[in-house]
Structure 1
Amino acid sequence: MKIKQTLDKIPGGMMLVPLFLGAVIHTAFPNAGEYFGGFTKGLMTGTVPILAVWFFCMGAAIDVRATGTVIRKSGTLVLTKIAVAWVVAMIAIRFLPEGGVQSGFFAGLSVLAIISAMDMTNGGLYASIMQQYGTKEESGAFVLMSLESGPLVTMLILGSTGAAVFEPHLFVGAVLPFLIGFLLGNLDHDLRAYFGKATQTLIPFFGFALGSSIDLGVIVDTGLLGILLGVVVIIITGVPLILADKFIGKGNGTAGLAASSTAGAAVANPMLVANMKPEFLPAAESATALVAASVIVTSILVPIITAYYSDYMKKKNPPLTKGPVDMQTQKTAI
């Protein structure tokens, strides 16, 4: 059976299919974890410890020796994405209730859902797109996108906009595994290779654990709104990212558009934040479903839109080629 090949054909499949499976089990048998107990309970309820290990491995995989071009490009995209999410959050907190919208078409929409969908880029999707439509340096720009992974950036945005107040030690706790992994990975390249391999392996496990806390009824209720959220994420983050890539990153905007997706790991952020700040618990489940829908939508649309945009830019600014006549002209001029 070609199970992995099938999962790879689904956008974010390694994350979303286990998440959906966990949601099916939780919806049909909400007390399954408690019933079986032991390791089975740990697998179904272990979102936080599994993500802690994943976050550590992500830090270990980052090479501090990345070239200046890669750092400039990735830094530009990461900071722009975070800045846009911050501005949107500042606007959203003025219009959305603290616990999210409770009724109507926008039921389930909250500041937590919007920030989680916007502040993280799907690094793997970005790298694969840029390998086809960008330069080697642009493809490697996903190196700093790992800094967005985990709840830290979401917590910073929520805290700085006044949507929540976090104790300083919670910020330290959110980033400490990543920093320790980053330190070890750069002190010993063998450790980087060893721990870096685990980043992909852990994805289906935290996807399943996360899904085991979601009722499918919530996903059904927020389905259309989730699709709309994904489209909005591409538009609102994509335009500033294109401009930043052009004027700061010195690209043609393709890399910026390729970074306008929602990361698969962002699906975990609402629940992780709610675990630290219980006042977000009423909005966390709906936010998780919305972010999951945004992951799927952006994973499908971003590669398609980026391909069209790249072709348009190449036709608009075709690469300069030097044929025999050009070379002869140069010799004559010399």
Structure 2
Amino acid sequence: MKLMSKFPGGTLLIPMFLSSLIHSFFPNLFKIGGLTEGLLSGSALGFILGSAVMISACSLDFTTIGKVAKRYSLLIGIRLAINILLSLAFVSFFGLDGFWGLSAIAFITTLTSTNPTLFLGIVRDFGDPVDQSAFGLVSLLASPLVPMIIYGFINPTNINIMPFISTLIPLILGIIIGNTDRELAKLMSSAMPYIIILLGWAVGAGINMLDALKAGIPGIIVLN
């Protein structure tokens, strides 16, 4: 724990790096079924991430919601505007097929990508309770809905809103708990440090460094 605390977001990044390293060279090491596979193979990522969204939302009482909106609304608005302008510029110069194997959809997805797990790890070390409570909002931005809206604006296509809704439900559940039972909300919030470590490991299990290197420049860009 002392080692992890020396690095910004270390409680997330160090487990993620170790997990990625192991799964890059030994991808089937933990795929033996049962509890070991459930805990260490990364198959529980959806459950862990959903738990993190709900637990962080437990600290969102009505007063905190206003503070989160005030702090992050302008930041998110500016970020989305920049993403749209750069996406339009990319398509104008390189078209939908892009260059060097980097297509417009890959560029837009990478440009608009938000890493809520890294956000959670950093604000845990440097943020205040308002920043930590914003994790659910940041997770909504990490859904595929955002890049698909931008891509659909450029090249009309069908948009699937279910990933957005599936993130919104645990967020709403957490808000309900936080505003109806403060003792339960406090108990659940105390689990967040452990959730961050498990989340880092689960995310790392899905990162194969060797595949990114084999994919060349586009793979390295997307990985970063």
Deviation at 1:90, TM superposition (A): 4.3
Q: Are the aligned partners of 1:15 and 1:203 in contact in 2 as well (CA < 8 Å)?
A: yes
Deviation at 1:151, TM superposition (A): 4.9
Aligned residues: 215
Alignment partner of 1:27 is 2:24: yes
Q: Which residue of 2 aligns with 1:55?
A: 53
Q: Which residue of 2 aligns with 1:197?
A: 190
CA-to-aligned-CA distance 1:181-217 (integer Å, 9 cap, x gap): 1111111211221222222221121211121122222
Q: Are the aligned partners of 1:119 and 1:148 in contact in 2 as well (CA < 8 Å)?
A: no
Q: Cα gap change, 1:28/1:118 in structure 2, threshold over 3 Å: closer, same or farther?
A: closer
Q: Which residue of 1 aligns with 2:2?
A: 5
Q: Distance between the aligned counterparts of 2:66 and 2:204, measured in 1?
A: 39
Q: Which residue of 2 aligns with 1:249?
A: none
- TM-score between the two structures when normalised by the length of structure 1: 0.53
Q: 2:16 is matched by which residue type in structure 1?
A: L
Q: 1:171 is matched by which residue type in structure 2?
A: F
Q: Are the aligned partners of 1:93 and 1:111 in contact in 2 as well (CA < 8 Å)?
A: no
Q: Are the aligned partners of 1:110 and 1:287 in contact in 2 as well (CA < 8 Å)?
A: no
Q: 1:183 is matched by which residue type in structure 2?
A: I
Secondary structure of residue in 2 paired with 1:149: helix
The one of 7, 14, 17 aligned to 2:14: 17
Deviation at 1:179, TM superposition (A): 1.0
Q: 2:21 is matched by which residue type in structure 1?
A: V
Q: Are the aligned partners of 1:21 and 1:211 in contact in 2 as well (CA < 8 Å)?
A: yes
Secondary structure of residue in 1 paired with 2:27: coil
Q: Distance between the aligned counterparts of 2:143 and 2:99, measured in 1?
A: 16
Q: CA RMSD in A?
A: 3.8
Q: Which residue of 2 aligns with 1:159?
A: 148
Alignment partner of 1:289 is 2:223: yes
Q: Are the aligned partners of 1:7 and 1:17 in contact in 2 as well (CA < 8 Å)?
A: yes
Q: Cα gap change, 1:32/1:288 in structure 2, threshold over 3 Å: closer, same or farther?
A: farther
Q: 2:11 is matched by which residue type in structure 1?
A: M
CA-to-aligned-CA distance 1:242-298 (integer Å, 9 cap, x gap): xxxxxxxxxxxxxxxxxxxxxxxxxxxxxxxxxxxxxxxxx8x756631xxxxxxxx
Alignment partner of 1:150 is 2:139: yes
Q: Which has the higher contact order (CA 8 A, sep 6+)?
A: 2
Q: Distance between the aligned counterparts of 2:204 and 2:53, measured in 1?
A: 19
Q: Cα gap change, 1:143/1:76 in structure 2, threshold over 3 Å: closer, same or farther?
A: farther
Q: Map 1:94-105; keep pairs closer than 5 Å.
A: 95=94, 102=101
Q: Are the aligned partners of 1:46 and 1:206 in contact in 2 as well (CA < 8 Å)?
A: no
Q: Map 1:209-288; keep pairs closer than 5 Å.
A: 209-218=202-211
Deviation at 1:12, TM superposition (A): 1.8
Q: 2:35 is matched by which residue type in structure 1?
A: F
Q: Percent identity?
A: 21
Give unmatched runs, 5+ long, in structure 1. 131-138, 226-282, 291-334
CA-to-aligned-CA distance 1:213-244 (integer Å, 9 cap, x gap): 22222466799x7xxxxxxxxxxxxxxxxxxx
The one of 33, 40, 47 aligned to 1:37: 33
CA-to-aligned-CA distance 1:107-163 (integer Å, 9 cap, x gap): xx7322221148999367468667xxxxxxxx6652663243325454332132135
Deviation at 1:57, TM superposition (A): 0.8
Q: 1:58 is matched by which residue type in structure 2?
A: S
Q: 2:38 is matched by which residue type in structure 1?
A: G
Q: Distance between the aligned counterparts of 2:196 and 2:100, measured in 1?
A: 30
Q: 2:46 is matched by which residue type in structure 1?
A: V
Q: Cα gap change, 1:38/1:148 in structure 2, threshold over 3 Å: closer, same or farther?
A: same
Q: 1:72 is matched by which residue type in structure 2?
A: K
Deviation at 1:171, TM superposition (A): 2.4
Q: Distance between the aligned counterparts of 1:9 and 1:151, measured in 2?
A: 29
Q: Which residue of 2 aligns with 1:114?
A: 111
Give unmatched runs, 5+ long, in structure 2. none
